[in-house]
Structure formats: structure tokens, C-alpha cells
Amino acid sequence: MAAGGGGAAAGVSARVGAWAEMGELKSALALLEGRLRFIREAGEGKIGVFTLTRAQLLDALAAAGYPPSAEGGHAYLLATDVACMTVDGVQRLEREREDTLARIAAAKASAALHAREQLKARIAALEQKKLRFSDVLGTLTERKEVVERDAAALQNDVKTKMAAVDAALTTREAELLQQVGRIEQTKRTQLAETGEHLQSKAKAITRCIEEIDLALSKPDPYDFLETAAAVEV
């Protein structure tokens, strides 16, 4: 991460430097072209260099749309060396202009190159992030499927256990009915036994019925099975 961040920062710095250089070169080009225009128009008599005061001449240059310098407005035009007004001086200024144009083109190309490189790097980083997100999404989808399968299995298991509880309840009720019948038959055949023996049997039956009622009153299937198991013992 640190290396990638440093590379990105260096790329941005280089691109900003190229654009800054291009801005400076464009300013220098404007002044060169202004100086060349001034020399040409002064030579053609369009600018009254020798008939105006300094202040009037500066106003005339501003009114004519000459580019001002950042430091002193149009004063740089009045400071033009006489040597620049010769044929070879003008040619030298024109060569400087062509060189400046070439440097502007190179700076622009450099800035564009850095911009393209940064764009490629950004696209590659986004592609990597997209792949990571896709992997995470795939993992989450798999986990979701597992959870859904587990939930379905749990639901089926609950249904199976509830069915087993219902079956056990039906079977237990039949067994209890048979047991009550046997007890009643025993009571009819053992009328001669002592009242204490009969009372003991009645208590046993009552306790059994209470345990059955307790089992039947359990709303939770697991509690019912536990209580039913105790009754069966």
C-alpha cells in the first residue's frame, strides 16, 4: 500500500509540475508574441512610439490588447532592446517563440502521459477491488446457501419429532386405556381384598393419571418427551 501510494503521489506531482510548466511557458509565449507584434507595429507606424508620452503609450498598448506581464503591465514592451528590432533580432525572437511552442507541446504531452498512466493505475486498482468484492460476495452467497439448508433440515427435524410426539401420545393413551381396563377388571375380581389394598391401588392409579396429565400439559415437545419418559419408567 505504501509503495502504491508513493507512486501515485509521484505521478500526481509530475503531472501537476508539467501543467505548471506549461502555464509558465504559455505566459512567456504571450509576452514573446506581444514583443514581436510591438516591434512589427512600431516599425509600421501603428504605434506612435515617438509621438506619445510614456503614460499615453502604455494606455495605447493596453487599449490595443497587448498582453501585460505579471510584474509591470506593458512596461516590458517599452524596455525592448533596440537590437531586437533588427532583422536578426526579430528572427531570434521568432526562434524563441518556436522553441517555446515546442516546449509547451512537450509539457502538454508529458502531462497527458502522466494522466494516462495514473488512469491506467486507477483502473487496475478498481479492477482488483472489484475482484475482491466478487470473492466476498461469492463467500457470502455460499454461507447463505448453507444456512438455508441447515434451516430447512432443522425444520424437517422439528416436524419429524412432532410427529413422533403425536404418535407416542396416541400409543400411550391406548396403553393407559388398556391399563385402566385391567385395573378395573382386577378390582372386580378382587372385591374380597382388604380396603387398604384397594386404597393403595387407587392411589397408584391417581398418581399415574396426574403424571399423564402433567405430560400432556407440556407445551414444549422436549419437555413432554422428558415427562413422558418419566411416566413410562
**CATH for 98:** 1.10.268.10
State which of 6-20, 174-188, 218-232 shows the largest mean pLDDT.
Answer: 174-188
10 and 107 share one domain: yes
- Measured between alpha carbons, how far is 112 from 20 in angstroms, rounded to an integer? 13
Does residue 35 lie in a domain region? yes
Domain boundary residue, one of 140, 164, 193:
140
- Measured between alpha carbons, how far is 157 from 32 in angstroms, rounded to an integer? 91
217 and 175 share one domain: yes
* Number of domains observed in the structure of the chain: 2
Mean pLDDT computed over 179-195:
67
209 and 100 share one domain: no
- Model-level pTM? 0.43
Domain boundary residue, one of 113, 140, 167:
140
Identity of the residue numbered 116? R
| pLDDT confidence bin for 43, thresholds 50/70/90 | confident
Share of the chain above pLDDT 70, in %: 79
State which of 40-44, 115-119, 181-185, 226-230 shows the largest mean pLDDT.
Answer: 40-44
Does residue 145 lie in a domain region? no
Q: What is the DSSP letter of 69?
A: B
* pLDDT at residue 168 in the model: 77
Mean pLDDT computed over 51-71:
91
Rounding to the nearest 10 degrees, give the CA dihedral for residues 55, 57, 60, 61: -110
Please give the residue range of the domain that contains residue 130.
Answer: 2-140
